[in-house]
Amino acid sequence: MRILLTALLATCLVCAQERPISVILDTDIGDDIDDALALSFALQSPELKLLAVTTVLQDREGRASLAWKILSLFGRTDIPVGAGAEQPLIAPVRTGKVRQVEALGPLDHIPPGQIRGGIQLIVDTCLNAPGKVTILAIGPATNIALALRAEPRIKEKIERIILMNGFFFKPGLEYNTRIDPEASAIVYGSGVPVTAVGLDVTMQCKLTAADMQRIERSQLPSAQFLYKLIRIWNGGNDEKLPVLHDPLAVGVTFRPGLIGVAAGSVEVETRGEPNLTYGMTVLRRDANGKIHVAEEVSSREFIDLFLNRVLEAPRK
């Protein structure tokens, strides 16, 4: 009987490890190029089950259409798209064009009836999921903060929040935190387990010219569209190479061994001077802390994983 129970337990553990991780991806796609690369990487990773994509900040329809276009290229328009908050909670209002929308043709825009409210989509997806959900927030944390405030019950349905957020081991500001410091503070202080991948490690994940040639030479429509977005983002400057900030957060979701982490709590400066200290992140180390902050990364291993996945034919 003991042998039978041991075998049964081992089988259950294998099944648990093979079960895809249910994920909501929250993104400010259309600004930096890494969001589009991250969405493509998530779609090409069988370890993940993408339940919903939500967008944040201005030009809600444009950002949602970019996400929709990429979902279409990978044959995944069954995944709902939600447009979330247009502006940060308190920080200065966001204006200006989302440049990568220029890549969309007349037929690429998401049908109006397909756009959901982003914050409600996060809430509903968490509450209706049969198990716990991982939230992957690769833009400013505005939507996640608003969802946590709107429906506190979702805390019990969130396995972990994985953020591309912060700059922890030397002074500096990171974009997602700086754009909405108050939202980041809410998420870090929510009590939900958090893994933060900050600029300290993501800056080590820069594509090379040879990596770019692999993307350029691909005949896949999905890779060709990503290359088109890259050229819009870098203005045709071959020396401006993508850094895989957001794709690293995706990779860490299913392969945590890509990074080494420090545990503790995180404080976000919400009263400092804009562009100086407002939005700075401070890690308070504590071995028992619920927040894990990346402090090292196996960069080449990750880049190769990313390229191999994104440059494969779309998964069925």
Distance in angstroms (rounded) separating the CA atoms of residues 255 and 237: 32
- Among 81, 79, 142, 152, CA closest to 113: 81
Token digits of residue 199: 């600029």
Catalytic residue from among 116, 157, 178, 245:
245
Distance in angstroms (rounded) separating the CA atoms of residues 134 and 41: 16
Catalytic site residue 245?
yes
The residue type found at 295 is: E
Catalytic site residues?
A: 245
